[in-house]
Chain A
Amino acid sequence: MAEAATNLLTTADGRPLKAALAAAQARARRRAFLLVLPLLLFVVLTFLVPIGYMLKRSFEHDGFANSAPTLVNWFAQNKGFDPANPPEEAYAALVQDLARMQVEKTTGQAGTRINYSVPGTISLFKKGAREADTLTPPFKEALLAVDPEWGMPALWRGMESASHVYTPEFYLVAADRKLTDEGWARGDDGQRIYLYLFVKTFIVSAIITVLCLLLAFPVAHLLATLPMAKSSLLMILVLLPFWTSLLVRTTSWIALLQEQGIVNDLLVGIGLIGNDGRLSMMYNMTGTIVAMTHVLLPFMILPLYSVMKVIPPSYARAARSLGATSWTTFRRVYLPQTLPGIAAGSLLVFILAVGYYITPALVGGADGQLISNLISFHMSKSNWSLAAAIAGMLLVAILVLYWLYDRLVGIDRLKLG
């Protein structure tokens, strides 16, 4: 009833109230939109488009589909062929394409594409292409004579899959699946590195987040409660790392923590450890965790500080006057009120840590590498699609975490400052 009545409201001159309101606000809204337009364009161009392109690349590779048209055509017409025993026409198409690759110099592209799912095939393709125009029918026997590996069922499965420009294959590889003669299967134990690194990255990020929280909480509390002059000084100390180059900070940690570094020298000097028992705290996971905790600490301190700043000291006093010990006061009154800050800081640090690249690359050694270092490795090898697939998985994982976080904590409780 009440809602029907509100819908019928009109202005004094008989226009519907809602339309009149919209018209009255239209100008202000247009101006507001124009103000955000530059940022909107910037975000679309530099953020959404690259991410969209990356996601597209993670599904797309035309290296084989473009350079082997005859075989692609044959695969399209013979959907149910037996990869263990492809017929003569298939071999004929393959030899024809190999000859074309040799002429068009596309052997590398095609080989690289197949190499994703069936490792070690680039050389096979190069050899096959070189000899393709000398081969005579029957092509099956002729090609197998060049190299018996041409008969591998896994290779034929791989080529069939690569004949499509769009494929989920890179995600399968990034999930440690392997193309065998029988199809996609779990990879060998020694070679499953991607998921292992994923899990490791998330565990390390969680450790860093917890360390940051433990270190940041007292600092943020001090910042929020000290008198102005002292807290400003402390704030500068917190922000100083922000103004220092990441490279400089990381290198300082190397100087401190390496085996001939300051910390070890000091420990040996005071006799806590022997000269031959120097701790290795650099170029391993310890180095990565220490340096990353330091680098990410301000991202925990600042949200915590902004929340603590507005908690009036009278709450703690009230709790104390009501009979609570200082520990109970902290646990039941202060801590719950800092939760939005803890949540915001943890989310920020965790997401930054999961995608961190430069610090583990510099101080991680072999043991302290994270998933982003692997992405970077594949990018340097021009394995764009695989790098994009791993990055895509990372993105999805973060979005899932974000969703979980929203369900558990509520995104509206987030307070970044």
Chain B
Amino acid sequence: MTLEPRNDAFVAFEHVQKSYDGISLVVKDLNLSIAKGEFLTMLGPSGSGKTTCLMMLAGFETATNGEIKLDGRPINQVPPHKRGIGMVFQNYALFPHMTVGENLSFPLEVRGMGKDERETKIKRALDMVQMGAFANRRPAQLSGGQQQRIALARALVFDPKLVLMDEPLGALDKQLREHMQFEIKHLHESLGITVVYVTHDQGEALTMSDRVAVFNDGKIQQLAPPADLYERPDNSFVAQFIGENNKLLGTIEELAGDKALVRLATGELIDATAVNIKEKGQKTLVSIRPERVEFKPEMMPPGAHTIEAEVVEIIYMGDILRAVLKVAGSDEFVMKMRNTLGQTKLSPGQKIKVGWHPQDARALDP
């Protein structure tokens, strides 16, 4: 599940463990390598160890065991100010007693840079985030989004090769957050920097990242590009954590390669793709994305098993219609339909048949 560290990795965690109290491990045997120029997101619920990993990389926490390497060099003993890593904090951490310009000047001054060079760099960094006119303002006079841009500019002004971001968009409203996601992504692409991004917002992780590491319980559950993560989750935790997900409990009836026939608890048979299934007769949890569920016979692949369903509720959400169905004893089965002109109108109580492509139903560990 975890990749073996490669020698050419820009950032490498090698068997890293972290404990705060000497009793339990917050990070359990972490192996992760990040390539130069990659945008890697650590995603997970709070307490999953993702922020601890970031803090160890930044140098604010020390690894209890294992080695962290930056550009091939072990950095466990290197103090944070000598690591040359840019960092954007959750609440921006802009120094309130300095102007925006002074905030940006700070990392350059401590590096002993001359005045002219500093001014050039500050101007360039501020222009980069479209905040060129704000150099003389104080952070308190800026809106949340503007502070976010300044924090970004400050983390980039000294040209770090690696930038860490700790839930940087958490305090912004939804629209601004989405806008900033694209800006950060574009900055990453145009500057060619390596970014390690921590968030608990899966939408953010899917939109921005080259690869996402899903953390839970101090371990990486899956490390994959966003599309793989969403469409081909490795285990039931990832399937449930990323996106909306329908769960059906059952037993493997037949197993041929990765094709599986699953008998549900209520007796129906469905097709599924076996993911981490070892043998016939095993208990399984089948995961199906709501938007991959079909109820029109012509949309279903030929020969696919269908299953009886009863409409419980239709929720109008603008771009989509969300149907809550009663399927195989569960009345939390969700189907999403595009709100198109010709869309069939369903009403509560209506009996329909639903099905899906066997590839979209993934039989996972229960």
Please report A residues at the B interface, Cβ cutoff 8 Å.
312, 314-315, 317-326, 328, 332-333, 336-337
Give bound CA distance, A319 to B89, whole Å. 11
Rank and list the top 8 A-B pairs by shortest CB-CB distance, nearest first. A322-B107, A318-B93, A314-B93, A321-B87, A320-B80, A324-B110, A336-B97, A314-B89
The interface residues of chain A lying within 8 Å CB-to-CB of B60 are: 317, 320
7 sample A-B contacts, Cβ–Cβ < 8 Å, listed by A number? A314-B90, A314-B93, A317-B60, A321-B59, A322-B86, A323-B82, A328-B110
The interface residues of chain B lying within 8 Å CB-to-CB of A324 are: 81, 106-107, 110
Give bound CA distance, A259 to B106, whole Å. 53
Q: Is B361 an interface residue (CB 8 A)?
A: no
Query: Which of B86, B90, B111 lies in contact with A321, CB distance below 8 A?
Result: B86
Classify chain B's interface size. Answer: 20 to 34
Q: Are B80 and A312 in touch, CB under 8 angstroms?
A: no
The interface residues of chain B lying within 8 Å CB-to-CB of A318 are: 87, 89, 93-95
Contacting A at CB under 8 A, from B130-166, are: 154-155, 158, 164
The interface residues of chain B lying within 8 Å CB-to-CB of A333 are: 95
Q: Are B86 and A337 in touch, CB under 8 angstroms?
A: no
Residue of B nearest to A315 (CB): B93
Q: Is B5 an interface residue (CB 8 A)?
A: no
Q: Are B91 and A322 in touch, CB under 8 angstroms?
A: no
Q: Are A337 and B97 in touch, CB under 8 angstroms?
A: yes
Q: Is B203 an interface residue (CB 8 A)?
A: no
B121 to chain A: closest CB distance in Å?
13
Q: Are B111 and A323 in touch, CB under 8 angstroms?
A: yes
Q: Are B96 and A323 in touch, CB under 8 angstroms?
A: no
**Dominant SS at the B interface?**
loop
Q: Are A322 and B96 in touch, CB under 8 angstroms?
A: no
Give bound CA distance, A318 to B86, whole Å. 9
Q: Are A314 and B97 in touch, CB under 8 angstroms?
A: no
Residue of B nearest to A311 (CB): B96
Query: Which of A317, A322, A337 lies in contact with B110, CB distance below 8 A?
Result: A322
Q: Is B225 an interface residue (CB 8 A)?
A: no
Q: Are A332 and B91 in touch, CB under 8 angstroms?
A: no
Q: Is B26 an interface residue (CB 8 A)?
A: no
The interface residues of chain A lying within 8 Å CB-to-CB of B107 are: 322-324
A323 to chain B: closest CB distance in Å?
5
Q: Are A325 and B95 in touch, CB under 8 angstroms?
A: no
The interface residues of chain A lying within 8 Å CB-to-CB of B91 are: 312, 314
Residue of A nearest to B96 (CB): A337
The interface residues of chain B lying within 8 Å CB-to-CB of A321 are: 58-59, 80-81, 83, 85-87, 155, 164
Q: Is B45 an interface residue (CB 8 A)?
A: no
A312-B93 CB under 8 A given contacts A323-B110, A323-B158, A324-B110? yes
Q: Are B97 and A322 in touch, CB under 8 angstroms?
A: no
Given contacts A315-B93, A318-B94, A320-B79, 15 further A-B contacts (CB under 8 A): A318-B93, A320-B60, A320-B80, A321-B58, A321-B81, A321-B86, A322-B155, A322-B158, A323-B82, A323-B158, A325-B81, A325-B110, A326-B81, A333-B95, A337-B97
Contacting A at CB under 8 A, from B83-137, are: 83-87, 89-91, 93-97, 106-107, 110-111
**Chain B CB within 10 Å — which of A318, A324, A336 has the most?**
A318
The interface residues of chain A lying within 8 Å CB-to-CB of B90 are: 314
Query: Which of A312, A314, A323 lies in contact with B81, CB distance below 8 A?
Result: A323
The interface residues of chain A lying within 8 Å CB-to-CB of B81 are: 320-326
Residue of A nearest to B151 (CB): A318
A317-B89 CB under 8 A given contacts A322-B158, A333-B95? yes
Q: Are B93 and A323 in touch, CB under 8 angstroms?
A: no
Give bound CA distance, A326 to B79, whole Å. 10
The interface residues of chain B lying within 8 Å CB-to-CB of A314 are: 89-91, 93
B215 to chain A: closest CB distance in Å?
21
B57 to chain A: closest CB distance in Å?
11
The interface residues of chain A lying within 8 Å CB-to-CB of B86 are: 321-322
Give bound CA distance, A345 to B2, whole Å. 55
